[in-house]
Structure 1
Amino acid sequence: MDWLNQFLFGFYPYLCMICFFLGSWARFDRSQFSWRSQSSQFLRRQQLVWGSNLFHISILGLFVGHTAGLLTPPEVYHALGLTVKAKQILAIVTGGLLAAMGAVGGAMLIHRRLTDSRIRQTSKPTDIFILLFIFFQLCLGIATLPESAQNLDGTYMLVLAEWSRSILLFQPGSAQLVSDVPWVYKLHLVCGMTLFLLVPFTRLVHVWSAPVWFVGRRGWQIVRKNANIAKEGV
């Protein structure tokens, strides 16, 4: 099965990255009006608010945590006084809480989308599929926790981090780094990469339009003067 390991962890990551960037650009260029999240917020709004908030906060937190955890060289967090074991425990606790929160939110969104006939009629098959796929990925992440708890020395964490950095740096032999990693980690990696592959073909493409620029925007108050009132005052 060396060829499968080589494909999934040596070639597939680059295929996903190419599809993510070029596919998103092509969709924006050819179908700009489909670049939206297609909200159904007017239907069963209360369940949407709770489910969506839990789900999106979880996904954002997990994305930031995974990115920082996998791409930060060990020398950096050692310099900050964080040992490998402490980093592993931190990842287990925060990742577990965020994944559980996301699973609850995802379950609420799935229930809402599948049990309400009005929402189901406005849903595309890809909407339901991508929601179920992300929910499955969250469950896979939770399934890795027992394995991580049994290996607090951070062996697998360090291997996965080294693999991630080697992929981004286009270093040869990346696939061999994860050849002995347990299957649950490998499946979690493959599903995570597949999410990037699916972005241009699903509603996930709206991540490119996230209004993050609002965070640093100054508050403005618009004041309009009625010319007639101004003249009467004079």
Structure 2
Amino acid sequence: MSYLNTLIFGIYPYIALVVLVVGTWARYDHGQFTWKAHSSQILRKKNLVLASVLFHVGILVIFFGHLVGLLTPHFVYEPFMTAGTKQVLAIVVGGIAGVMCLVGGVMLAHRRLTDPRVSASSTSADNLVIIILMVQVLLGLATIVPTLGHLDGSTMLLLAGWAQSIFTFQGGAAEYMAGVGWIYKLHIFLGLTIFVLFPFTRLVHMLSVPLEYFGRKYQVVRKRA
């Protein structure tokens, strides 16, 4: 069991990160025409705006909440709040964002899987991604149940210690996960697997922020002679 814990939470994270970075770079370099979200709005607009807004707002809050919550050292926020307070804040904000993401995602998945026109234009990867994301959100919401049983922030500190050890290349990162509940481990494992799938799916479109738009040159338009 110790070997499996080390493999999943000590070695697999680096494999997932390497695949994420190298795979994304390779796809951008060799397959830019595939770098898109394959929008199906033209095929069916009903409920799309509501579902899309709920899903994207929810998942963005979840993503940045995890990013800040896991990678911010404890001493940074300790003068302002305790680990327990931070955990309660994460439950409230994450719970609301999770429900939003789940409702929007289920609506999008139902639309993609049941509408004949949308389904015909969807790939297996599209269907797989939305299903995996919904399972991941469900697992995240499920972690709230055991978390409510210990609001001292101890589990959050272990998870943050693991994440910070991985990103700072410290040894023994997997030791943080040894005493963590299985629901947290499953949630993290699936999250790492999403990193592996990222370069090969439509998820890459989240990196396409058009920042160059604000600094681009004006388009030159000339009249015909």
TM bucket (normalised to shorter chain) is over 0.9
Structure 1 unmatched ranges of 5 or more: 227-234
Q: Which amino acid aligns with 2:64?
A: V
Q: Count residues in correspondence.
A: 225
SS at match of 1:46: coil
TM-score (norm 2): 0.93
| Corresponding residue number in structure 2 for 1:39 | 39
CA distance in 2, matches of 1:159, 1:187: 15
Say if 1:181 and 1:26 are closer, same or farther in 2 by CA, change over 3 A: same
Say if 1:88 and 1:35 are closer, same or farther in 2 by CA, change over 3 A: same
The alignment status of 1:94 with 2:64, answered yes or no, reads no
Shift of 1:157: 0.2
| Corresponding residue number in structure 2 for 1:169 | 168
| Corresponding residue number in structure 2 for 1:185 | 184
| Corresponding residue number in structure 2 for 1:208 | 207
Q: Equivalent pairs: percent with the same residue? A: 46
Say if 1:164 and 1:213 are closer, same or farther in 2 by CA, change over 3 A: farther
SS at match of 1:45: coil
CA distance in 2, matches of 1:114, 1:124: 11
| Corresponding residue number in structure 2 for 1:27 | 27
CA distance in 1, matches of 2:111, 2:122: 11
* CA deviations over 1:41-91 (Å, ceiling 9, x no partner): 112213211111111111111111011101111111112x21111111100
Contact conserved, 2:52 with 2:108, CA < 8 A, in 1? yes
Shift of 1:221: 10
| Corresponding residue number in structure 2 for 1:230 | none
* CA deviations over 1:105-155 (Å, ceiling 9, x no partner): 000001100110000000000000000000000000000001111110011
TM-score (norm 1): 0.90
CA distance in 2, matches of 1:225, 1:37: 34
CA distance in 2, matches of 1:134, 1:213: 29
Shift of 1:196: 1.1
Larger Rg: 1
CA distance in 2, matches of 1:89, 1:51: 27
The alignment status of 1:107 with 2:110, answered yes or no, reads no
CA RMSD of superposed structures (Å): 2.2
Contact conserved, 2:83 with 2:154, CA < 8 A, in 1? no
CA distance in 2, matches of 1:78, 1:5: 30
| Corresponding residue number in structure 2 for 1:6 | 6
CA distance in 2, matches of 1:146, 1:208: 33
